[in-house]
């Protein structure tokens, strides 16, 4: 393969991998807002906490796959606790109270992480089965990055099938559209919403684990990657999974090609794209315009 073409392809795959990680985080945030109307700024910190739990499990067991199974599950359980005992008490108070509460939860997570693990960067090794390179049309590319792309696609497809092709998905969407009617049919709507919130936390947990071997684990991970995911949700439109997916891919490619060709401007490319979109469509690319 021509070296120039190889460089473009490699950077494209890098962008795709990062974009899929962003979508795993952003999709959970989008589902929680779109189906429950909750602005959850603790989402990025749950993602970071999952990376730390991954580090701890790998350190104790030397098994990445155990971490991939257990860490997201623990984040889902934590999500159930947050929704049941904190957020449910303020549903009727509006978004400002939700923001204050979830930011407080985020600060609590950061403080706990620093107390337990400190502030230094903590490396997580790529599992042996995913180490090395693989040849793609004469170009060698890291196996682990391909794993990230494949795992994220699998989770995305599964999520779409569950939400739009199963009875559980129909119940969830019906509860969002007409909570009182679904409740009258004998369905426990608060439980449904708890499970939706927990599922969003699980998605953030998966993203936290898969990114840990790619980046070192440190307290600023929530700000570095989590805020990119929040910008994805805003730019794509609150509550729009398709918008989150498309913008995640755009941000991934802007980051990858920006670092390669415009290294000094790379940090502001995504912000510039978001500014342009919101100047034209304040509700985001696929967001619905609120009635006055």
Tell me the per-residue pLDDT of 43-85, one tens digit each, with 9 for 90 and over: 999 999 999 999 999 999 999 999 999 999 999 999 999 999 9
Structural domain tally of the chain?
1
- Residue 292 pLDDT > 50: no
| Cα separation, 244 vs 115, whole angstroms | 34
Mean pLDDT across the stretch 217-245? 87
Task: Give 6 or 150, the one with higher predicted confidence.
Answer: 150
Residue 184 lies in a domain: yes
Six-digit token string for 150: 């494949």
Q: What is the pLDDT of residue 227?
A: 81
Q: Is residue 219 part of a domain?
A: yes
Residue in 131, 223, 156 with CA at minimum distance from that of residue 21: 156
Integer distance in angstroms from the first to the last C-alpha of the chain? 56
Q: Which residues contact 193 (CB under 8 A, 6 or more apart)?
A: 35, 36, 83, 175
Alpha-carbon distance of 44 to 91, in angstroms, equals 21
Contact 203, 30 (CB under 8 A): no
Within a 10 A sphere around the Cβ of 175, how many other Cβ atoms?
Answer: 24
Here the CATH number for the domain that contains residue 263 is 1.10.3470
Structural domain includes residue 289: no
- Asked if residue 290 is part of any domain, the answer here is no
* Domain region containing 164: 3-280
140 bridge partner residues: 135
Question: What band does 211 get if pLDDT is binned at 50, 70 and 90?
Answer: very high
Answer yes or no: pTM beyond 0.75.
Answer: yes
Residue with tokens 């090609």, as numbered in its chain: 257
Instruction: Specify if 157 maps to a domain.
Output: yes
Spatial contact of 200 and 32, defined as CB atoms under 8 Å apart: yes
């Amino acid at each position: 393969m021509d070296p120039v073409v190889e460089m473009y392809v490699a950077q494209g795959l890098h962008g795709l991998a990062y974009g899929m990680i962003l979508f795993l985080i952003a999709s959970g945030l989008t589902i929680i807002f779109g189906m429950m109307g909750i602005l959850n700024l603790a989402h990025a910190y749950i993602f970071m906490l999952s990376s730390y739990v991954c580090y701890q499990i790998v350190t104790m067991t030397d098994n990445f796959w155990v971490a991939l199974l257990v860490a997201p599950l623990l984040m889902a359980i934590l999500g159930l606790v947050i929704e049941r005992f904190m957020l449910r008490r303020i549903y009727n108070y509006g978004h400002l109270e939700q923001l204050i509460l979830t930011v407080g939860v985020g600060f609590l997570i950061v403080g706990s992480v620093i107390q337990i693990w400190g502030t230094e960067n903590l490396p997580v090794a790529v599992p042996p089965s995913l180490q090395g390179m693989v040849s793609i049309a004469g170009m060698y590319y890291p196996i682990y990055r391909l794993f990230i792309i494949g795992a994220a696609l699998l989770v995305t497809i599964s999520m779409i099938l569950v939400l739009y092709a199963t009875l559980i998905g129909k119940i969830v969407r019906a509860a969002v559209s007409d909570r009182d009617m679904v409740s009258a049919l004998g369905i426990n709507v608060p439980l449904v919403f708890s499970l939706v919130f927990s599922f969003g936390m699980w998605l953030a947990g998966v993203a936290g684990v898969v990114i840990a071997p790619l980046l070192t684990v440190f307290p600023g991970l929530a700000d570095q990657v989590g805020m990119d995911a929040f910008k994805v949700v805003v730019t794509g439109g609150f509550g729009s999974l398709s918008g989150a997916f498309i913008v995640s891919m755009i941000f991934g490619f802007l980051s990858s090609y920006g670092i390669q060709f415009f290294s000094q401007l790379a940090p502001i490319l995504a912000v510039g794209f978001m500014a342009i979109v919101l100047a034209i469509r304040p509700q985001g690319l696929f967001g619905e315009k609120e009635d006055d």
